[in-house]
Amino acid sequence: MEIYSSKPLLALLASFLGAILIVAAGKKPNLREGCSIAAGLLQLVIIVSMIPPVLDGGSFHFILSAFLPQVAIAFRVDALALLFAATASFLWIVTTIYSIGYMRLHGEANQTRFYASVALTLTATVGIAFSANLFTLYLFYEALTFSTYPLVTHTGTEEAYAAGKRYIAYHLGTSIAFLLPAIILTYVLSGTFDFRPGGVFPSAANTTVLVILYFAFVAGAAKAALVPFHAWLPAAMVAPVPVSSLLHAVAVVNAGVFLIYRVILHVFGLDLFHRLNLGIATAVLASITVMLASFYALRLDNLKALLAYSTIGQLAYMILGASIPNQNGMTGGLIHLVNHSFSKITLFFAAGSILLASHKTKISELAGLGRFLPWTFAALTIGSLSIIGIPPAAGFVTKYFLAIGSIQAGWLVVFFVLLVSTLLSAAYYLRVIRTAFFGAPQENVSHPISEISYFIIAPMILTAAISILLGILPTLLLPLVRLALR
Amino acid sequence: MNLAEIFAAQQIGFPILSTLIFLPIALAILVNFLKTDHLARWVALLGALAVLVLALVMTCAFIPGVSHLQFAERIGWISTVGITYHIGVDGISVLFVPLTAFLSVVVILVSWNSVRFLVKPYLAAVLAFEAMVIGVFVTLDLFVFFIFWELMLVPSYFLIKLWGGGPDRQRAGTKYVMYMLSGSAPMLIGIILLGVNYNNVTGGSGATPSYSFDFPTLLSVPIAPGLQTLIFFLLAFGFAVKGPLFPFHTWMPTTLLEGPAGMGVFLVGIKLGVYGFIRFVIPLLPIASARWLWLMVVLGVFASLYGALIAMAQPNLRRLLAFASISHVGLAILGLFSLNQQGIQGGIIMIINLGFVSAGLFMLAAILHERVGSSELSAFGGLARQAPLLGTFFFLFGMAVIGLPITSGFTGEFLILQGAFLLHPAPASVAVLGVVLSAAYLLVYYERAFFGPVTRSIVKTLPDLRSREAVVAAALFLPILWIGVYPAPLLHVTGASVQAVVERVKDAPLTAFRLSKEK
């Protein structure tokens, strides 16, 4: 059942007009942040209202305008789009609430620019999710790069500009060099830019060209931070904590993973994808990324850097899932897009809370802080357990499906990678928890350290709770995930 | 390819294209007799605006979706050798007329304050140049085309020599003219060969020769493949020098560096060489074009890489823009010689895009030069903080240079790449590198010039764009945005004529051989 509706456009307009209102209300912080939350709620309501019809097997369509003959800026909302968009939109609201506490307490400058850029980032993110064809997706993909640039360089320091330069170079460089030609080549081979279930290529297409094309797509999706296109991610950590949480847990990185899922499912189609042995190639690439990121994270002492490298590894899990040739594996990968978002954003929130309360950024300095910041470290523990994959946290569901899928496929090497990387992530996350709860407090703690604001605690506890909820009730997501993979 | 004609008398009631050529000439004469420089400036500006309005009226009255020659006028001139005053526009040429008129207005505005001596001759030269360029775009008789093409050199020589900004402008003016003449001499031979071939095919003899240089007439006679190749190289050489297409580009950076800012707008903004390829070379010589397309594609791809690489190393803004334009000409040539609908339309949109973008960037460069006293990178740094409007517009025009979405540069590049991929993925993939490099040189330059600490005291007191300048910049960005967001009307205007060319090239070998057999 195809529903022609302007809802997809309205969802984009909610955040876009939100950005304009935010700028207009720039002089009054309370009103400005109010606009941001209102826009987020409106967007979330519109997106959620599309879930029931999609669960009934429908999809929403909207054509905005014809750009060139046979090339339209058009939207199509299916289960895959909703998983991504709903997660991003929900977490935008949570991040805004967290930002109110963080940005004010941390005395950040240019807050209007911050909130406006975040609203534009969400517009681009939802645009990517709702794109009906590769062309529309490319437009929003570039828009995402430019709307996040002011966020990465927010602090205005030399380091921030250097990170911003690297950020632009990686994203713009790869999208122009690989994604754009890949999109055009797809059109040349198939005669369409549209996403179609089961793929678009005629059976006569040259297999060598198709293989090259696939890798051009993967290289073009630098936002997914697969090795060797990962270096922008740790560099971008110079941004304020709310930016990192939004970029590295929700919008940007998920956009990269989403693109790869779209390409596998709706450009190549699973049949062709596995017939060309691209699944195995992707699994190798993702496994290398998982292992390198895990080993690298082991020796890091900076908490945010650790989270960055952990993110690289976790993103690779999602792509690993996509490469496994059965339903269970792919379910594990796709459900991790949501699970990881909630768990990782909890960890970022906690890192920000620690920074605000104690001005500490290094793991070795956290000794004994657990007793002063109980909420923060409770959240951090839940987030860590989820990322490691310990029940009942959400990450366990991911690992469960991935493990089952890899065994079913007979890919024992992938199973082994999962095992080792789980142990490694346990090693580096448990180190944080152990230091915080069981380490001896440093003696020169002169001022009392305590939880700093409800604006910080509430969002953190909420996302931590959802991380547990998704672990206990994966059935909340599974219908949508199954539908997306069909 | 049968080009039916709609005459101006039927279509609009008066010879609008002739008016567009001769009105600027009349203005050029008039400004010399005015009392004050101030009055001359206003008359020139209002006159150029009138030409622009007329050109826009013509564009609006143009019937899109057909490949007819429109607003045509035909008057016999030197009938013994078959030279006629035959003008008209179709989808390929129509858009360049308002573009030229628009850029002329910009040139007059850009030099409003910066040209302080010999103001009247300067304005006369600009208006005369405008007239010649419009003449080149609308002429359908190759001989008359050649006359306009050569007459263009006169005003441009004096523009560079008398009002150039660089210390070496004398030599630059001479270099420019020498280059242009060495390009046009072979072109003239090529044009004569076309006329001679017509005479031979139609059976004219020594006593009753039947020469013709009329473009639609020449299309109707076959040209032997060998002769096509010869004429192809003669014409292509002339157009490549004007392009400028690598390796005939070396006049361009010198001229831009030494010449006046207004000249930069014209030279970078109006790509007569590229126009020559799509107007005359490809339709008249389809077999040679198809046979030698590999050479043009290689040159185009190479130029796009070479120009971008050299641009990366340029500390001078004008030289950077010169090499950027060489790179973009390469892309446009790649598009044209893809010889398909997307590629050719992309090439046309690319040169229109270049018109607006280069006018915008040269205007900003001229403003910077006027206020900072240099175009060198070392003189800039932190400009955006001092002049946020200037910084914003520079970035917006830069986006179109890179070809980022929502700008006309994106539309052009997207179509060119689409056309090139349809031709063959290999050259297209290499051309993509040129696009990536364009992002690199532009963003790196932007970062160094506009961000970072302010190091020089003169930058600290830099005034931002004045309202007049901001209005011009906005007026230049508007069409860039329009073509970037909603290119459909443009594609509709150019579509039918481009399709006629594509079909002619596709059928070329067949038609040519069939005709030669019939004979």
Distance CA A181, CA A36 (A): 36
A395 pLDDT more than 70: yes
Q: What is the mean pLDDT of residues A336-353?
A: 93
What does the longest C-alpha to C-alpha distance in chain A come to? 73
A267 pLDDT more than 90: yes
CB contact under 8 A, B425 and A187: no
Half-sphere exposure of A338 (CA within 13 A, CB side): 31
Both tokens of A405, joined, read 């899928």
Give the residue from A161, A184, A206 with the most B CB atoms within 10 Å of its CB, the best one to mutate. A184
B518 pLDDT more than 60: no
Say what the ipTM of the complex is.
Answer: 0.84
Distance CA A395, CA A471 (A): 7
Both tokens of B497, joined, read 């004529």
The one-character DSSP state at A65 is E
The mean predicted confidence, pLDDT, of chain A is 90
CA distance A396 to chain B (A): 41
B425: contact with A, CB 8 A cutoff: yes
What DSSP letter does each residue of B83-148 carry, written as one string?
A: EEEEEEE-TTTTTHHHHHHHHHHHHHHHTTTT--SSHHHHHHHHHHHHHHHHHHHHB-BHHHHHHH
The one-character DSSP state at A366 is G
Distance CA B341, CA B497 (A): 10
Distance CA A268, CA A288 (A): 23
CB contact under 8 A, B418 and A67: no
What's residue B2's pLDDT? 66
Instruction: Identify the band that residue A458 occupies on the pLDDT scale cut at 50, 70 and 90.
Output: very high
Looking at the 3D structure of chain B, how many domains does it have?
1
Residue with structure tokens 């707008």?
B265
The predicted-structure confidence for A276-301, as pLDDT tens digits, reads as follows: 999 999 999 999 999 999 999 988 88
B207 pLDDT more than 70: no
Q: What is the mean pLDDT of residues B134-139?
A: 94
The alpha carbon of A241 is separated from its chain's Cα centroid by a whole number of angstroms, namely 15
What's residue A320's pLDDT? 94
What's residue A444's pLDDT? 61
What's residue B446's pLDDT? 86
The predicted-structure confidence for B240-256, as pLDDT tens digits, reads as follows: 988 888 888 888 888 77
| Chain A residues with CB-CB distance to B418 below 8 A | 184, 187-188
| Domain definitions of chain A by residue range | 277-441+448-486
Helices (H) and strands (E) in chain A, counts: 21, 3
Report the candidate in B261, B258, B243, B290 with the shortest Cα–Cα distance to residue B110.
B261
CB contact under 8 A, B418 and A188: yes
The predicted-structure confidence for A91-114, as pLDDT tens digits, reads as follows: 999 999 999 988 888 888 888 899
Q: What is the mean pLDDT of residues B315-325?
A: 87
Half-sphere exposure of A440 (CA within 13 A, CB side): 3
Q: What is the mean pLDDT of residues B425-438?
A: 89
What's residue B57's pLDDT? 93
Q: What percent of chain B has pLDDT over 70?
A: 97
Half-sphere exposure of B510 (CA within 13 A, CB side): 5
What DSSP letter does each residue of B236-304 carry, written as one string?
A: HHHHHHHTTPTTS-THHHHHHHHS-HHHHHHHHH--HHHHHIIIIIHHH-HHHHHHSHHHHHHHHHHHH
Answer yes or no: is B76 within a domain: no
Q: What is the mean pLDDT of residues A216-241?
A: 89
The mean predicted confidence, pLDDT, of chain B is 86
What's residue A286's pLDDT? 94
Answer yes or no: is B477 within a domain: yes
CA distance B491 to chain A (A): 8
Instruction: Identify the band that residue B461 occupies on the pLDDT scale cut at 50, 70 and 90.
Output: confident
A131: phi then psi, degrees, rounded to nearest 5: -60, 135
Name the 3-class secondary structure at B519. coil
Half-sphere exposure of A272 (CA within 13 A, CB side): 24
Answer yes or no: is B74 within a domain: no
| Chain A residues with CB-CB distance to B436 below 8 A | 173, 176-177
Answer yes or no: is B8 within a domain: no
**Can you name the residues that pair with A68 across neighbouring β-strands?**
A71
| Chain B residues with CB-CB distance to A67 below 8 A | 411, 486-488
Residues A265 and A80: beta-carbon distance below 8 Å: yes
What's residue B198's pLDDT? 87
Q: How many C-beta neighbours within 10 Å does residue B168 have?
A: 12
The predicted-structure confidence for B75-101, as pLDDT tens digits, reads as follows: 888 877 888 899 999 989 999 999 999
Q: What is the mean pLDDT of residues B508-516?
A: 50
Both tokens of A190, joined, read 């198939």
Which residue has better confidence, A308 or A65? A308
**Can you name the residues that pair with A133 across neighbouring β-strands?**
A194
B134: contact with A, CB 8 A cutoff: no
How far is the CA of B322 from the CAs of B304, B319, B417, B440, in angstroms? 12, 5, 22, 16
Residues B141 and B83: beta-carbon distance below 8 Å: yes
Q: What percent of chain B has pLDDT over 90?
A: 35
Containing domain of residue B501, as a range? 292-506
Instruction: Identify the band that residue A88 occupies on the pLDDT scale cut at 50, 70 and 90.
Output: very high
What's residue B516's pLDDT? 44
CB contact under 8 A, B417 and A180: yes
A69: contact with B, CB 8 A cutoff: yes
Half-sphere exposure of A230 (CA within 13 A, CB side): 23
What's residue B336's pLDDT? 93
CA angle B191, B197, B202 (to 5 degrees): 135
How far is the CA of A378 from the CAs of A386, A388, A398, A458, in angstroms? 12, 15, 22, 12
User: Which residues have CB under 8 Å from B414's CB, separation 6+?
Assistant: A68, A180, A184, B346, B403
